[in-house]
Amino acid sequence: MSKPRQRLRLKTLIGAACLVSAIGSTGCQVDVGGQTLPSPYYLGDDIQYFPAGPRMKLSREAAAQKAYKEEQVQRSGRQP
């Protein structure tokens, strides 16, 4: 083989190897039918922890309403 041909073949081989390694080293998330499927590396990902909150999302508002109602009962002098 001639030198230019060998160089072209070597460059093509190196380019193909770089392309294959780049594709193989990236994970991908896929959206199929509205469902997001995880990347192949989801088992090695860090875990995000969200502590449990109150069951009722509006607990402060409910407490404020209860306090207001009790205050109104005390002002009027009635029993609940």
Q: Classify strands 30-32 and 35-37 as parallel, antiparallel or unpaired.
A: antiparallel
Residue entry with tokens 């009027």: 76
Classify 35 as helix, strand or coil.
strand
Phi-psi label, residue 29: left if phi above 0, alpha if psi -120 to 50, beta otherwise: beta
Q: Specify the amino acid at residue 69.
A: K
- Contact status, residue 56 vs residue 62, Cβ threshold 8 Å: yes
The pTM score is 0.34
Which tops the pLDDT comparison, 64 or 4?
Answer: 64
* 33-77 pLDDT per residue, tens: 877 777 677 777 777 788 887 788 898 999 999 999 999 999 988
Classify 79 as helix, strand or coil.
coil
* For residue 29, pLDDT beyond 70: no
* For residue 14, pLDDT beyond 90: yes
